[in-house]
Chains A and B, each alone.
Chain A
């Protein structure tokens, strides 16, 4: 199958690589930081999602794809969110086992 001609400028892949490397280093620093646990966990999740977004948008060229494909790709995110929310009641019922 012939591929269509690229109609957008090629991203600077090395800049994306640099951003990913920096975010990884920041993740390591945040993981070791003595801050509040909620802040550390939230920050790590945000950093991981930022890195995942960079890979998806630039390396997988999602930023330059058709809108319909982007909607297809986002569907697992929505389904995963529903699954995680569905598991919260079960996980929360075990929290009382933790020492206070």
Chain B
């Protein structure tokens, strides 16, 4: 009864312009996070453009492996949206199955990223320099950009795990699943950012 009263109070503030407070606030957060990544990418572009000895990415980075990683993240976006679709059709089992697939995709992405980092760090690349005759900022920009994104992926996997646990306890139904949708927005944002990072860091030479 108290919950219903609170819900009516919240809904009274919603109007034709807002999609719902939870979704709206997640979008506002994603917009601010997008500006963070935009700043990092802008700095990366400015540094790279002004460098006289920036390496060709394919000579130092494993582009095919990262392309596979990109594909894995895209697949995890599909599983996330299928999870939302499943719960909207009332299928708790579908929600949990597709969410598990999404978390596996995210964890795989992190694992491959960790492998790539380990390989590069063993070669001698750090934030402060590298063993090759290339710009010293190459390591810093790469590690900070991909590391910042990786932190987002890790947070996303933990976030989805919490949604998974709540879903397993029956917290979501066909009528009440906005939390799943909001989590999905975050996950798709992580995928969207990686699409841009992959292109600017790995592909453009």
Q: B75 CB to closest chain A CB, in angstroms?
A: 7
Complex Cα gap A97–B52 (Å): 6
Q: Cβ of A8 < 8 Å from any Cβ of B?
A: no
Q: Are B81 and A13 in contact, CB atoms less than 8 angstroms apart?
A: yes
Looking across the interface, which residue of chain B has its beta carbon closest to that of A11?
A: B81
Chain B hits for A80, CB < 8 A: 34-35, 38, 42
Per-position 1/0 for B13-45, Cβ under 8 A of A: 000111111101001101110110011001001
Q: Assuming A60-B185, A69-B27, A83-B42, is B196 touching A1 (CB within 8 A)?
A: no
Chain B hits for A21, CB < 8 A: 71, 74
Q: Are B199 and A47 in contact, CB atoms less than 8 angstroms apart?
A: yes
Q: A85 CB to closest chain B CB, in angstroms?
A: 10
Q: Cβ of B78 < 8 Å from any Cβ of A?
A: yes
Q: Cβ of B1 < 8 Å from any Cβ of A?
A: no
Complex Cα gap A98–B200 (Å): 20
Q: Cβ of A65 < 8 Å from any Cβ of B?
A: yes
Q: Are B178 and A1 in contact, CB atoms less than 8 angstroms apart?
A: yes
Chain B hits for A44, CB < 8 A: 199, 203-204
Give the secondary structure class of B's interface. helix
Q: Are B31 and A60 in contact, CB atoms less than 8 angstroms apart?
A: no
Total A-B residue contacts, Cβ distance less than 8 Å: 142
Chain B hits for A79, CB < 8 A: 35, 38
Chain A hits for B31, CB < 8 A: 72-73, 75-76
Counting chain B CB atoms within 10 Å of each CB, the highest count among A20, A58, A97 belongs to: A20
Q: Are A27 and B199 in contact, CB atoms less than 8 angstroms apart?
A: yes
Q: Cβ of B177 < 8 Å from any Cβ of A?
A: yes
Per-position 1/0 for A16-39, Cβ under 8 A of B: 110011001001101100000000
Q: Assuming A3-B20, A3-B175, is B42 touching A10 (CB within 8 A)?
A: no
Q: Are B46 and A87 in contact, CB atoms less than 8 angstroms apart?
A: yes
Q: Are B71 and A52 in contact, CB atoms less than 8 angstroms apart?
A: no
Complex Cα gap A1–B11 (Å): 9
Per-position 1/0 for A76-99, Cβ under 8 A of B: 100110011001001111110111
Interface residues in chain A, defined as those with a beta carbon under 8 Å from any beta carbon in chain B: 1-4, 6, 10, 13-14, 16-17, 20-21, 24, 27-28, 30-31, 40-41, 44-45, 47-48, 51-52, 55-56, 58-61, 65-66, 68-69, 72-73, 75-76, 79-80, 83-84, 87, 90-95, 97-99
Using A1-B21, A10-B85, A66-B16 as known contacts, list a sample of 4 further A-B pairs with CB atoms less than 8 Å apart, ordered by residue number in A.
Answer: A3-B178, A80-B35, A84-B45, A99-B52
